[in-house]
Amino acid sequence: MPGPETAEGCEGVTVAVALPGELVVRCAHGADARQALDSTGLAVHAGRGEGPYGDRAYVCRINNFPTAADDDCAGHEDGAPYWKVWRVGLAPVAWRTSQTGDGPAGVAVCPGSLVGFSFGGEMPVGPEQVITTPGWLPPRC
């Protein structure tokens, strides 16, 4: 996977999105991970909310991945791959799955923070490869 573009000097939220074959890193703004993702300029497509959870705000596609042929965005289903939201935890500084029932809208972010998105798997690089500022630690939001 090619190295990420950087968001060094970002005065907002750094958003890292693992797309097939690339890691896209953008400086964004918002009070939660969904708002930050929506402000990156990437094409974000929400689901229709017809599945068992009825969540219209879930992230179905980012930059047309997965394709409409692979996911019709009707609704998130148990056991199916989905866009995972990652936050950064301490001791050690590492990705932690968000574990919220509200998806990305339930993950608070603030200036200086880092949030990640990956489809069906782990983040392909560690947080220290996205924000390379020596001594960076995630702020308390």
CATH number at residue 110: 3.10.20
Beta strands 44-46; 22-28: pairing state: unpaired
- State residue 2's pLDDT score: 41
Q: How crowded is residue 54: how many other Cβ atoms within 10 Å of its Cβ? A: 12
pLDDT the model gives residue 62: 97
Q: Tell me which residue range forms the domain holding 86.
A: 13-42+81-130
Host H or E run for residue 15: strand 13-19
Q: Is residue 108 part of a domain?
A: yes
Judged against a pLDDT cut of 80, whether residue 1 lies above it is answered with no
pLDDT of residue 56: 66
Count: domains in the chain: 1
Give burial (CB, 10 Å; 0-12/13-18/19+) of 13. Answer: buried
pTM, two decimals, is 0.90
Q: How far out from the chain centre does Cα 61 lie?
A: 11
